[in-house]
Structure 1
Amino acid sequence: MTKATRNGVTFPLPVLQGILPFDRSKLPTEILAGLTFACLAIPEVMGYTKIAGTPVITGLYTILIPMALFAIFGSSRHLVVGADSATAAITASALAGMAVSGSSEYLALASLLALMAAILLIAARIIGLGFLADFLSRTVLVGFLTGVGIQVASGEVPGMLGIEVSAHGTIAKLQGVAEHFEQFSWPTLAVAVAVLTVVTGCRRLSRKFPGPLIAILGVILCSWAFQFSGAGIAVLGAVPSGLPSLSIPAVDWSWSLFKQLLPTALSIFVVILAQSAATSRAYAARYEEKFDENSDLVGLGLANLGAAFTGTFVVNGSPTKTEMVASAGGRSQIAQLTTVAIVLVVILFLTGPLAYLPNAALSAIVFLIGVKLIDVRGLANIYTQARPEFWIAIATAAVVVFVGVEQGIIFAMVLSLIDHTRRGYHPKNSVIVENKVTGWHSKSIDHPNQFEPGLVIYRFSHSLYYANTQRLSDEVATITQGADHKLSWFCIEASAIDDVDFTAGYTLRNAHQYLQSKGIKLVFLLVESDVRAELDRYGVTDLVGKDAYFESGSELLAAFHHRIGREHGTQSASGKP
């Protein structure tokens, strides 16, 4: 039976790790945090349905069962799981040409994507693929979310102006606005501006003010009192109430459909992994707590199963929602369960007034969500601190805006891998030399390059693998050819090498032969046990000998001095100079 442990308390099953142990004295604070979060999240998740292209009620459904399942089965005490702009945008991008937005067929496909994401997440837990969360660098994640923000914000411009645009894609929607500008409605724009003003005004006064909720309640009241629909302002209309029905997505269960949706499901899977893991780590570090990534994978998988079987779309760990709860005082999943209870009441008894909600108000809320995702400060920091990575972030954002969200996440992954390979391909290797004042230190590979006459200590600063083995060969040749004294020993300082692949083993054998032809002995310093096992397996140890490995600099120097002294002694005895 699987067990989970937190703060010395062992649980027979990996459940309630985000809740237990619980301090009863903090219950009022947790409930208040949950209430505050509900006020902020309800209008926001309704806005996400516009991004995803699903009915408004499905936004509330993303909070109901999925959030409760993660609270029970997840590990993080802080991560909030629910509707998310990035995964909603990926869903809409993939389903745009497959069904009519908002239709039952479209919703079934969105639920199928949630089911596929859930299977991938649970499979990742079983076969240990959680490391894929690290394949999106912070740089490309900033660029990706910025691109999503631009796409989301620009996509709501037609709705705020009262213009009907059926085109998909950022550029196509803006072109549609220009082509159908005669549909522009001043009353619709006035509603949008009023909502924007209230939300931003409340945010300036205090981030604890539920600005979106105040704006939504106010505009619903005005719509009911002044009959906005009669003035040409489009409203949502009747919103169904009641609990979601549990059902399997009603789709054509064919292999061709799965193949068509699999790239999208994989993109969603990677975004969930990267965003959720990063958020959980950040808050666990902030509050000096532990969390189990494997339990979180199961919790996220079950949350998406809950979304799939309750007729809604993909859910994800949200950094913005997590910060909302944390800033309100929430320190466990009790706050999220409180939000679930409040949403349950809304779904059962309070959906009627939503019929009066103007579409422009919802567009304004979504517009602000998009603007919040545009991380200008993050881009500025990258530009200042790592100029090449800034252009990677900009390229990622551009692909999202001009090509698509799904293509953007794939592009982001490829760029991250290329960037990682580039760093490994050009490691900043050096030689170690002695300074009479500060001791040993590294310097670039140039003259003078010997630690002392006859000995070079060459530091390779990365794992040795096929992409950088030629660099090792070239630098060994450069150092030996440019040596300021005849070399006797060539030492590879291997403290930074944590892996050696087959190609690297072949290269090291060739390096040994090259050095041996010049009368130079190859030795190693500070080799990890796992790396030593790899060198043994590749036959390197058989060539250099077991006595060619040293665990400290003093041991290396003692052996070198002994060897040189012995050679000099032999030369003197034979009468040679």
Structure 2
Amino acid sequence: MSELAQKGVLRWVPGVQALRQYKPGLIVHDVTAGVVLATMLVPVGIAYAVASGVPGIYGLYATIVPLLAYAIFGPSRILVLGPDSALATVILGTVLPLSGGDPARAIALAAAMAIVSGLVCILAGFARLGFITELLSKPIRYGYMNGIALTVIISQTPKLLGFSIEKGGPLQDLWAIAQGILAGRINWAAFALGGGALALILVLKRFKHVPGILIAVIIATVVVGVLQLADREVVSVLGPLPAGLPTFRIPLIGVSDIGPVLVGGFATAMVSFADTSVLSRVYAARMGYRVDPNQEMVALGASNLAAGLFQGFPISSSSSRTPVAEAAGARTQMTGVVGAIAVALLLLLAPKLLQNLPDATLAAVVLSAAIGLFEFSDLKRIYRIQRWEFWLSMLCFAGVAIFGAIPGIGIAVVMAVIEFLWDGWRPRSAVLGNAGANGYVDVIRHPEARRIKGLLLFRLDAPLFFANAELFKERVSQALEVAPERVNWVVIAAEPITSVDVTSSDSLIEFIGDLRAMGVTFCFAELSDEVKGKLKRFGVFEEIGEAQFFPTLGAAERAYVETYELDGEQNRKP
């Protein structure tokens, strides 16, 4: 293999390159951090598996294999992947209605979702579509995540209270929980264990170096064992984990399952990459290196694909476990490898270690993560500075909270597209005047700006395309109507016009003809060469004429003054 080809291959497997350059002095830091990380990987992996509708053991399978895969393909040095609370409701929403309570069928469906999610991410990464998650604005992301957090809390509350309900969507679940409480179905022993664990985790979160989840899990497990609460069937517990490691298995699902699995897999791909890309960039900036978003998408896809083929379910980056790895001294992805090995050793050597872990405490672990997903402070700022975007966030939140995670993703994507199109469909426009050293400015905001009689300088703050072509004509026509004197030239400040399409070009040709019939000359200033090339292909350039294209607004203004032999006395303030 040539050196160039070898570099091309290594670009997609940065873990191999990192291993070749690994410094022996880092091993102590990475091993120590990996062991510390493993103490959190086990309870969190089990808890998120149960929250996703599959047995707890598969949460450990979905921890071990993705960590090893990401160590090979991942561009981030310390990012930790695994089961995630943001995905739990999406997975549950697909698995629960289709599995019929059959654990084997549930994990087959969840594994198939992971394969779909992995393939989507890999294909998108190779297609260099890493930018697509940037299409969701911050308010929409906040609304979606707040909705997910509320949905997770609703789904875990019955387990915290020690009873079960028939799932029927967030609103129906809330009503069922209320009925259960009013009917006196609360298991107070389970609630004491779960509520106490939740309170302890939230209190210890203030101390970054204290493993609050591990401490809460140990205390709850010891209490159940000492008081024999499981033996006396007072509370439900995890039970012994099956001994052994995950094995390669292609998940088999029915034909009727393909549609929901494809939708769920695509949804988890979008959510997991959105979370992973943000977290990856944050840690890259903090540690002083760059992350390729396309490689991040490929790595996430490979990790999900590996999870699906080794009895796991969709995974994402973790905003709770990654800081643990960082605080413990992680330097490279060797930390994740050590963590995965430690979890594997637990399954081989001590599968009964957590058999007395109460289900209510697992619910508390998930609830603590869900509470951390909420975003309120920045939404307050958005409410102050851009109220319509705040209400857009609230609409997205309501969509997720009312209809569920998967329809909520669809609502979020649709609203993002509508928001994008609205900005281009109804962009801001302005009539400009000369403000001297400050350049050309909006005469509404700067009435002191000079305007020249008979010259209309107009700016549209958007590309010109089919959705705003008529609006452009209307705005220019309105500016002509309200002009204080007859207009001879219309000059378009075209720097914001980064593109044109066939529809807008045809509309422009028609409009130029109308203006010419009125004795008005149409001109462009500051138009990019790329857009000018499109106008040539579309026939607009010939319609306007070479002489009516100017490099700057100043050049257009001087040409107009020379054409009409004006002097300074004919300049005026509006």
Do Structure 1 and Structure 2 share a fold, with TM-score over 0.5?
yes
Letter in 2 for 1:16: P
More displaced 10-residue stretch of structure 1: 146-155 or 548-557: 548-557
Cα deviation, 1:222-251, whole Å, max 9, x if unaligned, reads 222221111611111221121111110132
Q: Secondary structure at the match of 2:522?
A: strand
Within the candidate set 234, 240, 251, 2:253 is matched to 251
Q: Secondary structure at the match of 1:456?
A: strand
Aligned residue in 2 for 1:196: 198
Deviation at 1:192, TM superposition (A): 1.3
Aligned residue in 2 for 1:426: 426
Unmatched 5+ stretches in structure 1:
569-577
For 1:537 and 1:258, the matched residues in 2 are separated by 45
**How does 1:268-417 map onto structure 2 within 5 Å?**
268-417=268-417
For 1:461 and 1:246, the matched residues in 2 are separated by 55
For 1:305 and 1:12, the matched residues in 2 are separated by 20
For 2:476 and 2:155, the matched residues in 1 are separated by 56
Check whether the contact 1:87–1:268 (CA below 8 A) recurs between aligned residues.
yes
Letter in 2 for 1:15: V
Deviation at 1:424, TM superposition (A): 1.4
Matched, 1:76 2:76: yes
Letter in 1 for 2:49: T
Deviation at 1:178, TM superposition (A): 3.5
More displaced 10-residue stretch of structure 1: 550-559 or 211-220: 550-559
Deviation at 1:330, TM superposition (A): 3.2
Deviation at 1:212, TM superposition (A): 0.5
Q: Secondary structure at the match of 1:352?
A: coil
Check whether the contact 2:98–2:257 (CA below 8 A) recurs between aligned residues.
no
Q: Secondary structure at the match of 1:430?
A: strand
For 1:507 and 1:447, the matched residues in 2 are separated by 32
Check whether the contact 1:33–1:329 (CA below 8 A) recurs between aligned residues.
yes
Q: Secondary structure at the match of 1:523?
A: strand
For 1:183 and 1:77, the matched residues in 2 are separated by 48
More displaced 10-residue stretch of structure 1: 206-215 or 167-176: 167-176
Aligned residue in 2 for 1:441: 441
Deviation at 1:408, TM superposition (A): 0.5
For 2:328 and 2:381, the matched residues in 1 are separated by 28
Within the candidate set 229, 237, 240, 1:238 is matched to 240
Aligned residue in 1 for 2:544: 544
For 2:564 and 2:242, the matched residues in 1 are separated by 89
Compared CA separation, residues 546 and 25, structure 1 to 2 (3 A):
farther
Aligned residue in 1 for 2:571: none
Check whether the contact 1:454–1:487 (CA below 8 A) recurs between aligned residues.
yes
**How does 1:87-236 map onto structure 2 within 5 Å?**
87-101=87-101, 103-180=103-180, 181-204=183-206, 206-229=207-230, 230=232, 232-236=234-238
Compared CA separation, residues 320 and 386, structure 1 to 2 (3 A):
farther
Deviation at 1:298, TM superposition (A): 1.6
Compared CA separation, residues 497 and 33, structure 1 to 2 (3 A):
farther
Check whether the contact 1:82–1:315 (CA below 8 A) recurs between aligned residues.
yes
More displaced 10-residue stretch of structure 1: 284-293 or 242-251: 284-293
For 2:475 and 2:178, the matched residues in 1 are separated by 60
More displaced 10-residue stretch of structure 1: 172-181 or 118-127: 172-181
Check whether the contact 1:3–1:11 (CA below 8 A) recurs between aligned residues.
no
For 2:233 and 2:257, the matched residues in 1 are separated by 44
Letter in 1 for 2:115: L
For 2:318 and 2:141, the matched residues in 1 are separated by 14
Deviation at 1:328, TM superposition (A): 4.1
Compared CA separation, residues 235 and 260, structure 1 to 2 (3 A):
closer
For 1:10 and 1:342, the matched residues in 2 are separated by 33
Q: Secondary structure at the match of 1:354?
A: coil
For 2:409 and 2:47, the matched residues in 1 are separated by 22
Compared CA separation, residues 382 and 537, structure 1 to 2 (3 A):
same
Compared CA separation, residues 176 and 25, structure 1 to 2 (3 A):
same
Cα deviation, 1:20-79, whole Å, max 9, x if unaligned, reads 655554443333333333333322222111221111111111221112112211223343
Check whether the contact 2:139–2:393 (CA below 8 A) recurs between aligned residues.
yes
For 1:141 and 1:46, the matched residues in 2 are separated by 27
Q: Secondary structure at the match of 1:97?
A: helix
Compared CA separation, residues 235 and 12, structure 1 to 2 (3 A):
closer
**How does 1:500-511 map onto structure 2 within 5 Å?**
500-511=500-511
CA RMSD of aligned residues (A): 2.6
Compared CA separation, residues 508 and 213, structure 1 to 2 (3 A):
same
Check whether the contact 2:62–2:311 (CA below 8 A) recurs between aligned residues.
no
Cα deviation, 1:82-122, whole Å, max 9, x if unaligned, reads 11122221111122211134610111011011111112222
More displaced 10-residue stretch of structure 1: 14-23 or 121-130: 14-23
For 2:552 and 2:410, the matched residues in 1 are separated by 45
**How many residues align structurally?**
561
More displaced 10-residue stretch of structure 1: 140-149 or 549-558: 549-558
Q: Secondary structure at the match of 1:228?
A: coil
For 2:457 and 2:486, the matched residues in 1 are separated by 14
For 1:120 and 1:12, the matched residues in 2 are separated by 22
Check whether the contact 1:96–1:168 (CA below 8 A) recurs between aligned residues.
no
Deviation at 1:170, TM superposition (A): 2.5
Cα deviation, 1:100-158, whole Å, max 9, x if unaligned, reads 34610111011011111112222223444433322322111111111111111122221
Check whether the contact 1:448–1:484 (CA below 8 A) recurs between aligned residues.
no
Check whether the contact 1:148–1:405 (CA below 8 A) recurs between aligned residues.
yes
Letter in 1 for 2:87: T
Unmatched 5+ stretches in structure 2:
568-574
For 2:432 and 2:147, the matched residues in 1 are separated by 45
TM-score by length of 1: 0.90
Q: Where does structure 1 differ by over 6 angstroms across 4 or more consecutive aligned residues?
A: 1-5, 445-450
Compared CA separation, residues 105 and 288, structure 1 to 2 (3 A):
same
Cα deviation, 1:508-548, whole Å, max 9, x if unaligned, reads 21221122112222111111222111111111101111232
Aligned residue in 1 for 2:572: none
